[in-house]
């Protein structure tokens, strides 16, 4: 098994987290996540942050509340709901110490790859596709206010 060493270019917000400080307003004195009505990091039987956040967004923004994955067609309906959502979470930094991103679009160059990116399109895609509005709706549903002023193109790395 080898190591992944990927470059990521994403449009969205850097939320921090993991073992680092959360990059959101109202973070605690030591950078901990503020109190949220839909997530408790102290709940050992509960979902991790990403799983809980995805469930919240799917329920709040696209009315997908199914939980029984054994029902025929569940994964197809879930996949379609995630497409309608228009945002997703990505992790970066490392597999052992992930930090989180809320993104509307992302590109990943895997180790050894060289990908071509249309830089001119990067300037107009967010507005053309309503990404800012989708990201804002997701943040509102989550009750998070990033310290980052607005969504931006972010260049990140992942090692894991």
CA angle 90, 34, 17 (to 5 degrees): 30
Q: How many domains does the chain contain in total?
A: 1
pLDDT at 41: 80
* CA-to-CA dists, residue 64 to 74, 84, 88, 154, angstroms: 10, 10, 15, 29
pLDDT at 62: 97
pLDDT at 113: 85
Secondary structure element (H or E) that encloses residue 53, with its range: helix 49-62
pLDDT at 101: 96
Burial of 155 (0-12, 13-18, 19+ CB in 10 A): exposed
pLDDT at 103: 97
**pLDDT under 50 in the chain at which residues?**
none
Domain range for 84 is 5-159
For 143: left if phi > 0, alpha if psi spans -120 to 50, otherwise beta; the answer is left
Angle between helices 119-128 and 131-142 (to 10 degrees): 60
pLDDT at 160: 73
pLDDT at 149: 95
pLDDT at 127: 87
pLDDT at 44: 67
pTM of the full structure: 0.90
């Amino acid at each position: 098994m080898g190591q992944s060493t990927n470059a990521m270019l994403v449009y969205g917000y850097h939320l921090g987290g993991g073992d680092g400080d959360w990059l959101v307003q109202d973070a605690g004195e030591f950078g901990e996540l503020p109190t949220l009505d839909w997530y408790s990091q102290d709940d050992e039987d509960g979902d991790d942050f990403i799983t809980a956040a995805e469930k919240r967004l799917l329920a709040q923004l696209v009315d997908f509340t199914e939980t029984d994955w054994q029902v025929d067609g569940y994964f197809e309906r879930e996949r379609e709901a995630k497409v309608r959502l228009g945002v997703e979470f990505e992790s970066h930094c490392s597999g052992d110490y992930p930090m989180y991103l809320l993104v509307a679009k992302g590109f990943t160059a895997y180790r050894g790859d060289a990908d071509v990116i249309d830089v001119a399109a990067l300037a107009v895609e967010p507005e053309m596709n309503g990404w800012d509005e989708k990201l804002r709706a997701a943040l509102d549903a989550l009750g998070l206010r990033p310290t980052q002023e607005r969504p931006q193109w972010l260049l990140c790395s992942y090692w894991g």
